[in-house]
Amino acid sequence: MQRTTMDLWVGVFVMAGIGALLVLAFKIGNLGTYSTGESYVLTGSFENIGGLKVRAPVKSAGVVVGRITDIQLDTGTYDATVTMSIDQRYRFPKDTFASILTSGLLGEQYVGLAAGGDDTILEDGDRIMKTNSAMVLEEMIGRFLFDKASENKTSDE
């Protein structure tokens, strides 16, 4: 009797551990906060996507409204074409602005949608025309150092 009870409790703890690992895997994989119900597809072209990845969230006003489903390089323009699956409940105007943003200082990157004021609504397969690429920290530091170096050079003369 004593051995059976002990085996039961060990089994319960093992199952709880497996459940905790599954929850952690879903959190890391960005799969826990977006339903897989009805959705429509939007695309946008960005000059630089930084560290944006497939399955990254698409947010509007901080609310997850979709996910990135595909990222391709357009060989004609050499821009990144980002395909987004947006939940059917959320409709955006044609003049919506898409930006690649970062959660916190070094957090994950996501696409942020800022709704415009147009009366026409984006439909399945439409392209978002107004986009803002990712700010790459290395480029910003490089520009800052270059500006400082050229500033010092002109003051020495």
Sequence length of the chain is 157
Q: Please give the angle made by the CA atoms of 111, 74 and 40, to the nearest 5 degrees.
A: 45
> Over the stretch 54-76, which tens digit does the pLDDT of each residue have?
999 999 998 999 999 999 999 99
Model-wide pTM > 0.85:
no
Residue 48 has, within 13 A of its CA and on its CB side, a CA count of 9
30 contacts 79 by C-beta, under 8 angstroms: no
* Percent of the chain predicted with pLDDT > 70: 88
Instruction: Characterize the bridge pairing of strands 97-102 and 109-114.
Output: antiparallel
3-state secondary structure of 92: coil
- C-alpha span between 68 and 57 (Å, rounded): 6
Q: How many CB atoms lie within 10 A of CB 23?
A: 11
- Buried residues in 32-70 as b, exposed as e (16+ CB within 10 A): eebeeeebbebbbbbeebbebeeebbbbbeeebbbbbee
Backbone angles phi, psi at 73, to 5 degrees: -95, 125
pLDDT band at 30 (very low <50, low <70, confident <90, very high): low
Instruction: Reply yes or no on whether the pLDDT at 35 is more than 60.
Output: no
Each domain of the chain, given as residue ranges in start order, spans 1-32, 39-143
102 contacts 132 by C-beta, under 8 angstroms: no
Across the range 17-35, mean pLDDT stands at 72
82 contacts 111 by C-beta, under 8 angstroms: yes
83 contacts 43 by C-beta, under 8 angstroms: yes
